[in-house]
Structures are given as C-alpha cells and as structure tokens.
Amino acid sequence: MTVKLTERDRKLIFKCALCRWLTTTQLKRLYFPTATLNAVQKRLRKLADAGYLRAHREHPTAEVVHALGPKGKPLVEEVGSHATIAGEVPKQIEHLLGVNEVRVAVRTTMLPIL
C-alpha cells in the first residue's frame, strides 16, 4: 500500500519512535486536535497498513496503541535519530502510556510565560 506522507505524518512517526507506544487519543491530541476520532483512526490505520506504524489492540474494546513500524525507521534515521522498530508490547505498557500522557499534557497545554 502506498501512502503519501504529510509533514504531520512524519512528525507523528518521529513521536512514536521517541515515545515507543502512544494511544490513538494521545496522537489525536498532539496532531489532530480538530479532527474527528474516526478521521484520526482512518489515517493511523493507513499508516499502519503501509508499515510506517505498528498498531496493537489488547482486546476488541481496548484502545489501539501505536509504535514505530519497519518503514518508519528510515524516516527517523534520516534526521539523525536512532530508531528501534517496535517489538512486543511491553508488560509495563500502562506505566509507559502514563509517562507519555504527561509528555502529551505538557506539549498540548504549554502556557505562554508571563
């Protein structure tokens, strides 16, 4: 499957490499603040189907988590960063997602310094 990557896609892929695993909701807050959840899910599915991301859902009612896929690795490395393709979902995924929730909150709620 061929996907034309946007600058937003590239940033999203880089963020997945940096954070290891991010939820759909976290990615929506970072990169699709005005889009519908359905639109975000479609875009993330296209990126996963094309191999740029890896998507995992623990069970049918769980939220999907996303990580760097094999086609995303060269994109991250071309800007000089080390990239590791996601393996198995870590046992401490809840902790990792919590840490990433703090990262997302800081990034999306930064207030101007008075």
Residue ranges covered by each domain of the chain: 7-108
Whole-model pTM: value is: 0.86
Residue 45 has pLDDT above 80, yes or no: yes
**Distances in Å between the alpha carbon of 22 and those of 33, 34, 89, 91, 112?**
15, 18, 11, 15, 26
Query: What confidence tens digit (pLDDT) does each residue in 7-21 have?
Result: 999 999 999 999 999
**Distances in Å between the alpha carbon of 28 and those of 1, 17, 41, 62?**
23, 16, 9, 16
pLDDT category, 91, cuts 50, 70, 90? confident
In CATH, the number for domain 7-108 is 1.10.10.10
Mean local confidence (pLDDT), 38-61: 95
pLDDT category, 77, cuts 50, 70, 90? confident
Q: Any alpha helices (H) in 1-114, and if so which ranges?
A: 7-19, 24-31, 37-49, 72-77, 93-108
